[in-house]
Amino acid sequence: MTSALLPARDKLSICFAHAAYQLGDEFSARGTGINHFELRSLDELQARIGEADVLVVSGLWRNELLERAGRLRFIQSISAGTDQYARDALRAKGVRLASAQGANERAVAEHAIALILALARQLPQARDNQARRTWRGMIADRTRREDELGGKTLVIVGLGRIGARLAALTHAFGMRVIGVRRSTGKPPGGVDAVVAPDRLPEVLPEADFVALTCPLTPETEGLIGAPQLSAMKPTAYLINVARGRVVDEAAMLTALQDRRIAGASLDCFHDEPLPPSSPLWAFENVIITPHSAGETRRYETNVVDLLIDNLERLLSGNPALRNEIV
């Protein structure tokens, strides 16, 4: 893509579309002088997408919107995941796409370590006891006490930016870290060993915690199913900060019900918001967060940094996008 495919800076129109994020305010504070508008609902987006040359969006995106997007030339995804975009359709329409990979790597890794610590230190149980004004007494059964992370083994499935940062954090706690990724070259800092995805069944029995930080692709959809859960130790925990469909949810429910695994910390699900009818809400050994791992007070700043970088590239005739997908 060259600058000729975008209008001149003074003719450019950017649409920010998100139900909650204050991206328009963040962009205004940068003083670019570029025209922009902000929408909060799918109905608004359907009505006004024809006005946008650039769209900044994630959850409100629907592929059928392309038929109304006559001016659209570039989508800056607000999320690191881009499985919701029909890439072939974007190419056919001449629309470029870049992800927000890296905008939330610190936040998601920190969230994952928080979930690991919450499981090990039984923080949800402590909060429940606080609500009941109950002081936990001494516990004779050692298997029921809070645990320490030092010496435990963490298997990280997906050793990209988030996985590598999580490895560094957990290594500081004295954990042994095994990374699973396609490239099995020199491990990044904090990783003791790297194995290819086809060796995942070999390392799962070693894990005290299994953290999913991989993207959702045809290869990773349903990656953690009944065979993988059966390979884990009954004392092991599953942490998912990737995408809901990386896990076979029915198989996970069975594993939790049968105490085949010790528990899970889950930030993403097949259906979001998680329906009130989901059995997951009732499990005492499950921590649920509302797909909030990457959401922090800095998120708008990080996304707009990426957007401005890519805009400057396109307007200057540089066809290489940062985090280019299409």
Q: Exactly one of 243, 249, 300, 313 is catalytic; which is it?
A: 243
> Cα–Cα distance between 310 and 97 in angstroms, integer?
10
Q: Give me the phi and psi of 113, to 5 degrees please.
A: -70, -30
**CB count in 10 Å sphere of residue 218:** 7
243 is annotated as an active-site residue: yes
Strand partners, 266: 240, 288
Q: Exactly one of 91, 272, 298, 312 is catalytic; which is it?
A: 272
> Cα–Cα distance between 201 and 205 in angstroms, integer?
8
Q: Exactly one of 18, 73, 96, 291 is catalytic; which is it?
A: 291
Q: Which residues are catalytic?
A: 243, 272, 291
